[in-house]
Structure formats: C-alpha cells, structure tokens
Structure 1
C-alpha cells in the first residue's frame, strides 16, 4: 500500500484544522501555506474532503474550511480510506469475479500472509484517532500477542493443510 501525496497533504491540512480548534473557519490558502501544500492541490483536496463529509467548505471573503468530524473519535484509517480508498497490502480479499475473495484463496499459501498483513495495517491505523496523532496523546499500536505464531494458524484454511512441499 502506498500513501498517496494527496492523502499526505490532506492529513497535513486536517492537522492544521485540528490544531486550530478555537478557530471556526480556516482558509485553504493559510492551511496550504503553513503545511507546504501547493495551493491548487489544496483546493482539490478541499473539494474531496468536502465530498467525503470530513470538512465543510464556505465560499467568500471570510470563507474556508471547517471540520465536520470529531477528531477524538475519527481514526487515521477512516481518513486515509476516505482519501484514497480501501487500505490493503494486496487484493486477495476481493479479487474474485463478484468482488469476493480471490478464487485461489482456499489453496494459495500466500493468501493468509497478505490478508493478515492487511488486517495488521488496518488495525494499526485504526488504533489511533486524528486527535491522538496531532497532539501526540497516543501512539499507534497493535494488541498484545498480535505477533504470536498462533495468530497465523487461525489464518490457514483446511485446504492449505493438504499442501505439501515438493521433494
């Protein structure tokens, strides 16, 4: 998974809005300048964040952006996915013809690895809110025991148990 430049810039702009909690409206130009975001790109991001319901945009001399989400409950994962779509290491979970799991999922030795890595990344990004990140009140983390070998065993399907290495 690559974090797009658009998502990086959107997070910088949102961080500025979160830091300026007392200010009701922040101009796009000010947010862009403070965060080294090209103004034209910031305008495009403002439009996308408005469509996603993350901010409200007001036109005019006293216009700008205003948060529409609660940064204390909105996770980093939610914003990243609003900006660039589902977070995934691979498309093993939805590569089938009907948008379901990959047709080889039941007999592919790598499927549980890629699906587990996706779950791990999603859990990591959803473990912190925007407020946590901006103010440094909590670091992202994974639950205790996440790295145990038994966690991998639950990912294996019965069909995979029949896979034997060729000698």
Structure 2
C-alpha cells in the first residue's frame, strides 16, 4: 500500500507549494531549523521534535487519495526523521571537528560512542515497533516515530556538548 501511495505522489507530480520549502512530502525541514533557532535565541529548552509535523499532515491528508489511512502519518514521520538525521549529522560533525583540537583520543571515543548510540537506537526502535505491533498498533509508525524522536533527542544532547566545549 505504501508503494501505491508513493506512486500516487510521483505520478501526480506533486511538489510542495512555494510556502513549503520541503520536498513533495509536504514536510519543510526549515520548520526544525526555525524552532531550534527560536529556542536558542530565547535561551530556552524547547522540544522541537514535532516541528513541521502539523503542516505536513495537513498537506499530506489534503492530497493523498490512496487506501492506506496511515500513509500521511508515515509520509510525514519519514520526512521528519530524515530532516532530524541531517540536523544530527551536522551537529555530530561540528562536535567531531571541535574535538580535533583535543587530539585523536577524544575523537575516537566520540566515534565509538556514536556507533554505540546507533546500535542502542536501532534496538530501542525495533523493540518499540515490535511491542506496538504485538498490541495491534502500527509497528511501522511506532518505529519511525521512535527514530525521529531519538534523532531529535540525540541531536540536542550533542548540541549541548558542543555548546559546553565538548566532553
């Protein structure tokens, strides 16, 4: 059913309107950047995990005509997860560069910690999806939501380390 939904989007040639700078999913990654910038300028801790989701869901629900009622949610969670992964990767690279000043040891430890976190995230989100499916819920959505949320949380953690000067 997902393939049918994706084919719909592709066949329809849908692109995000000018107000939505994101991709054809309707998700605008700038919503995350804007939320993070506003939180930073206010010096406040704000949860930006849901940034852009409401607009994406409105967009997707308005345009999707397939038979999978979960497709708009799946579509937006997938796009949001990708956007958070990009934020996380950029933050990780900045922290890795910052650690370069301390030498190879801290960089290697950061790399190992990141690899361990990825394994943890995968296990956590796979468990989350399996548990949801066992309860009769949509395991794919639970897994995607977990991946998005964990990428956002880990990005915040690494950003805090970056702001504190590392380790």
TM-score, scaled relative to structure 2: 0.29
Larger radius of gyration: 1
* Larger fraction in helix: 2
TM-score, scaled relative to structure 1: 0.29
| Higher relative contact order (Cα pairs below 8 Å, separated by 6+ residues) | 2
